[in-house]
Each structure stands twice: as C-alpha cells, then as structure tokens.
Chain A
Amino acid sequence: MTGSTSTGGRRGTLVAAATSVVLAVVGVGTVTLGVRGSEGPPAPTGSTPSSSTATSMPAPAALAPTASANTAPRFGRFLPASRPTVLDIPSIGVHSSAFVDLDVTPDGTMSVPATADQVGFYVGGPTPGQLGPAVIAAHVDSIQGPGVFYRLGAVEVGASVRVSRADGSVLRFVVDKVALYPKDRFPTEQVYRGTFDRAEIRLVTCGGTFDKVRHYLDNVVVFGHLLGIAKP
C-alpha cells in the first residue's frame, strides 16, 4: 500500500516538476520574445529615430508673403468634399474600411481611434481629394499586438495609396515622403497645411523608440499627393 502511495506521490511530483519546467520555458521564452524577439514596427528607410528628419523641414511656403494674385492660382486637381470609406496601401497590405472620425480634443491635441483596427479621418481638415492635406491616422499597435498602421514606416516613396470615397470615387495618391518626427517636434504646419495648392494625403502613426512609460517617442508620417482618379 505504501508502494502505491509512494508511486502516486512520485508521479505527482514528476507531473508537477514537468509542468513547472514547461511553464518556466514558456515564461522565459515569452519574456525573451518580449525583450528582443520582435523587431518592432518598421522605421522609414534612412531615418534615425527622435531627431534627424525634423531638421530637414523646409519653411512652410504658405507663410511666405506672395505677390497679390491677379490671376487664378495654379492649383493641382481637386475635387468636391466626400468622406473616405476605404483605405488601401497595397505595398504594406493595408485594406480597411473601419473609418472613424477624429477631431481636436479639448486640450488641443488630436483624438485617436478607440481601437487598433480602426482608421481615423481628421474631420477638421479637407476630405481626400479636396484642396489641401487630408489627414488619416491609425494605431501602430495596441497592448494586444500590431495595429492597422504597424507597417506604415515601411512604405516607400512612389508607393500607391488608394482611397475610396462615399461618393463612389476611388482616388490614387502617390507617396512623396516618409519621415519620422519626434512627437515634441511634430511638424504641425507640414502635416495639416503643407503648401495647400493641391490635393494631398497624410498617413500618421506612432514609431521610433518605445520608452519606459509606455509611449512611442516619434510619429511616422507619410506624405502623398493626388495622382489620378481610378474611378470617378
């Protein structure tokens, strides 16, 4: 009888020990993955986080006094207002119709989508296709994992961005610039105004170093302009 008890005890010990080893391995493995197993979201090519790109900012052209206009200005093509309904960035596999409105919050900052699978459209600015830059923002990730714009930093100059609109039109934008800006030196004028002489688009997400208080220190910004209308 003691033998069977002893066997049972030994088996129990073995099972417990094995479970302990498995959990320990999983635990260590997961911690390792957490610390250095993932590479994090891609950064724009040639960018150095948290300072370098901001220095290349040209002064906003719109601020320079221009001669009084006697003739119609030469704007690029622009369209009537219509809200975005679908965003496609084929080169990084983004396809989303989960649009939500973004606006200025009482503290003056921009609201952000509630979840990482939503794409936010800044309603205080032009709609895609109107004169000026349309601003679209989405999360790079959430506690759960990658968000819609996880790979935004991997977008390359010349890449195509398609936006479908509520009026049934499909617009094709081409990427002119991809840059990483420190959040405390966010180029507000460039993002929300630009030269304001053609239909443009801005895609914004977080990037750069993730600091100890759980914030990304930079914003990845993709700049593009209207190239053509795939479907009127």
Chain B
Amino acid sequence: MRKQSTFVGAAFGAVTLLALGAGPALASGSSVNANLMPIPGSGVRGSGTAMVAVSGTTITVTMAATGLLPNQPHAAHIHFGADARHECPVIGDDTNKDGHLTTSEGAPAYGPVVVSLTKTGDTSPASTLAIDRFDTAQGGTLSYERGSIKVSPAVATAITAGKAVVVIHGVDYNKDGKYSGSVKSDLNPALPTEATDPALCGALLAAPVGGMATGDGGAAGGVSPGLLALGGAALAAAAGTGVIASRRSRIAVR
C-alpha cells in the first residue's frame, strides 16, 4: 500500500513537472524588456535598454543607457500604479506648463515607485531618493545589473503583465554639467529639480509569443503550391486542347 502511494505521488510529481515545463506562460511571461527613450521636454538625447527577468517574487534587472548627464548619480526605478496608464508620460502631462516634466507630473502615466534600482542595500520605495546608492553615469553611460531583488506578488504580476515602467532620473536643463538651478525638486526641496526629474523612460513589455509566419511556401522543397497551381493550369489547358484535337480529328475522319 505504502509503496503504491509513493509511486502515485512520484507519478503525480512527474506530471506536475511536465505540465510546468510545457506551460507557455512560463516561457513567455518570465521576462520583459523596455526601450528607454528621452522624456519629452527633458532635453536629454540619450537612450537605453532594460530587461527584467521575473522568477516568482524575485527579479533580476539588467539595464544600459547612454547620453545621460555624465558623472552624476542617476536615480532609477521601476514604477507601477494600478490606476496609472502603464506608459511613459507625454508633454500633455506637464500640468504646470513649464515645458518640463517632474517625477510627480509623470505619475499618471507610470504610477509610483515600486522598486528602487540601487546598487546596494534596500531596493524598496523607501530608497527612492537614496542618491548615494544609485549608479553614477561615467561619461554619460550607465551599466546596471542586480539580481535577487524581492518584490511583492502584486508587483511581480504587474511586471510580468507588461504594466510596469522603468524610469531613469537626472537631467541638466541649464547645461552647466551638474544638478543645479533655483527650481527645487517636487520630491525633496533640498535637491534641485534637475536631480530628480525623469530623463529616460520605457514601458516593460513582454516579447511576442511563439514563432513567426515568415513563409508562404512559394519556394519550399517538396510540394510547392504556386508551381503546382501553374502546372495544374497547364495540364488543364492541355486536356482542353486535347479534347478539341480529338473532336476535330473525328470531324476530319468523317
């Protein structure tokens, strides 16, 4: 009896493993990527890419960007809000019409911070402005990778569903090569708004599902529908003329 139940248990385990292995959701929903592009009105001419791999409630974030204000720390986050538009802000989100988008003005598009992409220590929203723990863009280029980041089940689901957005902050409106200016940050009045305004943004989206339909078989080996149709038409024509020929010959014989 015991042996049998063990066997049944093992069989059930094998079936479960097979089901997991074959599940399309596992293959297609386990990672998302973003193309990071300049925030409208930011004056930034940079770009970048980001990839987030999700395994349960643990994520690995890989990100690279160029064209950022050189040698300055750039706060970077994953944003998500259930009520947000799950996209990057447009210039229409500039509610005070000053031509620049602050982090708060972008919130209707991307929602609040859910993960702080710090190099070390805490990665929760509590580290949103932990400037000393964010990457410094050497020469304007940022290379970031961090694994074992824990997120809530809701955030993991949102990321996998393509509803999260990556934002890199830090701009230089007055082109003086540093975070400066009299306008203070909407997030922390001790900082200039240049230090926290969004610079690059990209929605994290899933890759296309499955293979690609890139052939109609016109030049396939074996049976080629195009050539078959052509050959078939010629054969039909041949049969047609053959019938005419035999009719004529019958007439001729007569």
Contact = CB atoms under 8 A, between A and B. Distances in A.
Nearest to A210: B220
B225 A214 contact: yes
Given A69-B119, A144-B218, A210-B222, A26 B234 contact: yes
Question: Which bucket holds chain B's interface residue count?
Answer: 35 or more
A39 B238 contact: no
Contacts of A196: 33, 51, 62
A199 to B, nearest CB: 9
A4 interface: no
Given A142-B218, A193-B51, A108 B208 contact: yes
Contact of A189 (B31, B60, B145): B31
Interface in B179-216: 205-216
Interface string A127-160: 0001110000111111111110110000000000
A180 to B, nearest CB: 11
B219 A141 contact: yes
B62 A68 contact: no
Contacts of A65: 55, 58, 60, 147-148
Interface of B is mostly: mixed
Interface residues of A, number: 98
Contact of A68 (B64, B138, B148, B205): B148
A193 B238 contact: no
Interface string A70-89: 10110100111100000000
Contact of B232 (A27, A104, A125): A27
Interface in A90-121: 104-105, 108-110, 112-113, 116
B209 A108 contact: yes
Interface in A15-32: 16-17, 19-24, 26-32
A32 B231 CA distance: 8
A36 B221 CA distance: 7
Interface string B231-254: 111111111011011001101100
Given A17-B245, A81-B37, 20 more contacts: A23-B238, A27-B233, A27-B236, A32-B231, A38-B219, A62-B60, A66-B147, A70-B119, A112-B214, A113-B214, A131-B62, A138-B214, A139-B215, A145-B219, A147-B214, A189-B207, A192-B207, A193-B51, A206-B213, A219-B214
